[in-house]
Amino acid sequence: MKNRLRFLLPGAIALGLIIGIAFAGADRQEAKTQTTHNGSEPQEESVVVEQHASYVQVSQQELIELADSIFEGTVLSISPTRWNQDSGDKWDGGLMLHAVEIEVDQPLVGDVAAGERFSLTILGASPGEGHVDYDFKAGDTSIFFTKRTDLTWSDGFRTVNMLIGAPAGSYLLADENGMFKGQLFSQPMSLDEVTKLIAEHRVVINQP
């Protein structure tokens, strides 16, 4: 089932299902004018836009049961910060976001295939440009739990893939030994162990 994520006003809480994302909107510091001591023309300060997101907490079981797609994949790239319109340019009332491009290595649940390039949209500034709620980077292998969502756009909505709940709890990152670790999982697990756990709740593709 597709979840519609709607932002009503800056500072408003998003409407959605329990697995939906609540977004605190953009906190905007308005430009102020200042008159210089020498009586010259007033100068405008720059406008500072900060964007903060809050997320509905989900359990491990909800993470597994509510995901549209679950797969092991390798992060190919993480885009610079964009805004929610086709050009990606900043616009008044818009939202910052960035895209994570992933190559699917092992599909587990949903309509994904090995070798497919999967684009994941994450709200907020890109790493290096602001705070992010995840640790993966280009070249890392992770297991992702994602949901198809209608995200508000400059001219309506766009259907995008997003992580379920808080990004920090919606993936399992592989360590140097190939063991996967995540906030909602009590101990490191192999891919086979994660797959068997998911199979207790969902029909798994290529179940071992």
- CATH code for position 121: 2.40.50
pTM: 0.77
50 within a domain of the structure (yes/no): no
Compute the residue count for the chain: 208
> Contact 72/143 with Cβ under 8 angstroms?
yes
The tally of domains found in the chain comes to 1
SS3 call for 1 = coil
22 within a domain of the structure (yes/no): no
DSSP state of 15: B
List, for residues 108-143, the tens digit of each pLDDT value: 999 999 999 999 999 999 998 998 999 999 999 999
11 within a domain of the structure (yes/no): no
User: What is the domain range of residue 150?
Assistant: 58-199
Q: Give the pLDDT band of residue 165 (cuts 50, 70, 90).
A: confident
Residue corresponding to tokens 């023309």 = 41
104 within a domain of the structure (yes/no): yes
What pLDDT does 42 receive? 55
What pLDDT does 85 receive? 95
Enclosing H/E stretch for 119 = strand 117-123
> Contact 55/21 with Cβ under 8 angstroms?
yes
Q: What is the dihedral of CA 107, 113, 116, 121, to 10 degrees?
A: -60
What pLDDT does 51 receive? 56
Query: Comparing 39-53, 69-83, 172-186, 193-207, which segment has the lowest mean pLDDT?
Result: 39-53
Give the torsion sign (CA, 76, 83, 68, 15): positive
List, for residues 20-44, the tens digit of each pLDDT value: 333 334 444 333 334 444 555 555 5
126 within a domain of the structure (yes/no): yes
> Contact 19/164 with Cβ under 8 angstroms?
yes
165 within a domain of the structure (yes/no): yes
23 within a domain of the structure (yes/no): no
131 within a domain of the structure (yes/no): yes
The token pair that represents 165 in the structure block: 């709940």
